Amino acid sequence: MANKLVPKPFWLRKKITPTLDKQMEILFDKAGVNTVCQEAMCPNISECFAHNQATFLIMGTACTRNCSFCAVSKGTPMPLNSNEPQNIAKAVKQLDLKYVVITSSTRDDLSDGGAEHFCKTVSAIKAVDNSITVELLIPDMKENKEALEKISKSGACIIGHNLETVPRLYEVRKGAQYERSLRVLNILSSFNSSIATKSGIMLGLGEEDNEVINLMEDLLYVGCKYLSIGQYLAPSFKHTEVVEYVNQEKFEYFKDIGMKMGFKYIKSSPYTRSSYMAHEYLEGT
């Protein structure tokens, strides 16, 4: 069992390029947009920035929930920025992106969970170039069906909502409910059968193999055919501790099982994150 004092194994020592990161940070700062790459301290940041790839974080950087695994700041969010959808669209044009991922912190303070703002952002991007593929990664929006219907018909091609971990370990996901998250994925598909739904989980929190397999069965039952599986890395000593550093063979094991079960595409590796190389999911099917 790992603990906070145990160094990461060699396969989790990814190179960071501060100079490159700074260049992209300046670009985003000038554009007036945020990225989850920066806010969540993603270990893939230098790799993605090198390819002009980023996942935009809308509706501010403060989350109304207090998940103990996440580096995004917690607190009282600022009011929505009405210029943000256009700012995102300008950044997308400047980076010449053809595949865009948009996510947000959880905004329980908003009656629709931010659904309308998501939709405005998709519309602004599509106005730049309607051929751009947009993927959304959304919070559960308290299972607000009207909000979820808006999201499902926003023009996004893939809509993701992460389960994060197995039901037994949901104490790390403050304010969330495993069954509710499954229903959210099901509701999205029921409102728009043409969209694809996607979810993501972390390994290394103490989950058992059979629990992961059961989770995959649950996702397939609600029509979710795309899955990301990555290693949990504690952002700081204040966050939930890593229980295990999972080797690559175990990631391959879950990918093989999941594909045989009926998933269309699974990306599974220690450094996989929800939006990491997101364009590959549709290309791989």
Mean pLDDT of the chain: 91
CATH, range 12-203:
3.20.20.70
pTM of the model: 0.93
pLDDT at 6: 59
The residue type of 230 is: G
The domains of the chain are located at: 12-203
Residue 10 pLDDT exceeds 90: no
Q: Which residues contact 29 (CB under 8 A, 6 or more apart)?
A: none
Going through 64-162 in order, the beta strands assigned E by DSSP cover 73-74, 99-104, 133-137, 158-160
For residues 219-246, give the mean pLDDT: 93
Nearest in space to 56 (alpha carbons), one of 23, 19, 18, 86: 86
pLDDT at 14: 66
What share of the chain in percent tops pLDDT 70? Answer: 94
What is the per-residue DSSP string for 189-217? HHH-TTSEEEEEEEE-SS--HHHHHHHHH
pLDDT tens per residue, range 94-105: 999 999 999 999
pLDDT at 3: 45
pLDDT at 20: 58
For residues 96 and 180, what is the distance between their CA atoms, to the nearest angstrom? 37
